[in-house]
Chain A
Amino acid sequence: MTEMRKISVKVNGKAYEAEAEVRMHLADFLRQKLGLTGTHLGCEHGVCGACTILLDGRTARSCLTLAVQVDGHEIMTIEGIADGDTLHPLQEAFRDNHGLQCGFCTPGMLTTLIELLRDNPDPTEEEVRIGISGNLCRCTGYQGIVAAALDAAKRMRALS
């Protein structure tokens, strides 16, 4: 028997309520029930990092979290990073440093780096590489991604 639950969750500052099967993971819930397709699904078993979101301010793999578990909690997805049409400095740095190739891993890279740069505003290159070690880029564009992260850290420090 398929068991359903009503899930109330705040995503990118906006309150949502939707019914979902209890077995549905958070990534499918965000994409299929809330229409927030910015969160990508790669491996669906916690290896690739593409589906990374922030749950109560901490990154999590949304394929390894059930939607029912976030009832009453706050989520931030890739859609919540920019301020309207104004890109976040991290997004600008990715554009300027060739941090995207096919773009599939990008949502997970950005959400991961939002937390990393919040907790450590001046990371070393090694810290960035360890920080994104749970995010796979199959274009292997890591050089550009690391350069973008370090450039973004510089831009964000200048703003704060």
Chain B
Amino acid sequence: MKPPVFSYHDPRSLAEAVSLLGRLENAKVLAGGQSLMPMLNMRYVLPDHVVDLGRVEGLAYIRDDGEAVVVGAMTRQRDIEFSPLVKEKLPLLAEAILSTGHRQTRNRGTIGGSLCHLDPSAEQVTVAAALDATLTIEGPRGRRTMPFAEFPVAFMTPNIEPDELLVEIRLPAWPKGHGYGFVEFARRHGDFAIASAAALLQVDGSGKIARASLTLGGVDTAPLRMTEAEELMVGQVPDEGLFRAAGEICGRIEAMDDALVPASYRRKLAAVMSRRALVLAQGRVERP
């Protein structure tokens, strides 16, 4: 249970970090270390080089840009948890982050690290999909932005080159008074969720759903935006029957199958988690 031999690099600037990644073969980026370190200890990964972003200036911040909250990739999960701005503008993220690991891991773990690790059951990954986040990626060819929906290309594989770094996440805020709900099912608090659901609802003056976002985490290789269920709900008056119907759509997905959790169980949980997330979100809607 000891990390393998590697060379360690601790750049002080983003430019230095990008240039190292362009130059070094078989390098891994170390952000908060809460996924990479266990993988090193268990020797699931054997990098020749580790590039630690811990001393790079200017990658940790939470800013309000009016329509969105902009978060630096090296922002610690604890700082997201305790941010009044996140609580006010992104209550879905504020709720979901409480299920991310434990206090000891949130103190170190970063949002950028979690998104690039791209575990399909990770709360921040599910929330980024639910909020239609935009990612800023920096590399030797300059900066580019990408909608989060284009980021996952396969199981735990982000759409990012080995010489590029995720530097910023832009999370659009929903209007004041929107409903939100994040629920997950795990065997123990802080464990990886077997299934999770993130729901956002906006209700218009006549009491009908004007906008809906429903995302499942942990059930497929990447978070699943349930557009069919979203379309079903928009224009309808929210009630138990509607949420049950939305849940039933979620119960028909192609779910992952593994040695511990059969696909049929994930589908059942997907239906229940999505209904619960929607009921929770509806209960939090403040009518205009």
* A positions within 8 Å CB-CB of B: 1-3, 5, 21-25, 28, 43-46, 49, 52, 55, 58-61, 63-66, 68-69, 112, 115-116, 130-131, 133-134
Q: Are B1 and A65 in contact (CB under 8 A)?
A: no
- Enumerate chain A residues within 8 angstroms of B30, measured Cβ to Cβ: 66
**In the bound complex, do residue B7 and residue A116 qualify as a contact, i.e. CB atoms below 8 Å apart?**
no
Q: Does B4 contact A (CB under 8 A)?
A: yes
Q: Give the top 6 A-B pairs by smallest Cβ distance, nearest first.
A: A134-B102, A44-B1, A22-B8, A45-B38, A64-B37, A58-B107
Chain A residue with the shortest CB-CB distance to B9: A22
Mask: chain B, 187-220; 1 = CB below 8 Å from A; 0 = not: 0111000000000000000000000000000000
Q: In the docked arrangement, what's the CA distance between A131 and B101, Å? A: 11
Given A46-B105, A61-B104, also A25-B52 (CB < 8 A): no
A44-B1, A46-B105 known; 7 other A-B pairs, CB under 8 Å? A3-B6, A22-B6, A43-B1, A45-B37, A58-B78, A60-B104, A134-B105
B42-59 Cβ-contact flags toward A at 8 Å (1 or 0): 100000001010100000
Are A134 and B34 neighbours in the complex by a CB distance under 8 Å? no
B76 to chain A, nearest CB (A): 9
Is the CB of B2 closer than 8 A to any CB of chain A? yes
Asked if residues A69 and B78 are in contact (CB atoms below 8 Å), the reply is no
Q: A3-B7, A45-B38 are in contact. Are A60 and B1 (CB under 8 A)?
A: no
Are the CB atoms of A65 and B103 closer together than 8 Å?
no
Q: Which of B1, B8, B41, B50 contacts A5 (CB 8 A)?
A: B8
Q: Is B22 an interface residue (CB 8 A)?
A: no
CB distance from B196 to the nearest CB of A (A): 17
Task: Report 29 cross-chain contacts, Cβ distance below 8 Å, ordered by A residue.
Answer: A1-B5, A1-B7, A22-B7, A22-B8, A23-B4, A23-B40, A25-B2, A25-B3, A43-B1, A45-B37, A46-B34, A46-B37, A49-B102, A59-B104, A60-B107, A60-B108, A61-B34, A64-B37, A66-B8, A66-B37, A68-B52, A69-B52, A115-B103, A116-B103, A133-B188, A133-B189, A134-B103, A134-B105, A134-B190
Does A45 contact B10, Cβ atoms closer than 8 Å?
Answer: no
* Alpha-carbon distance between A64 and B39 when the two chains are bound, in angstroms: 10
Residue B33 lies at the interface, judged by CB distance under 8 Å to chain A: yes
Q: Do A112 and B104 have beta carbons less than 8 Å apart?
A: yes
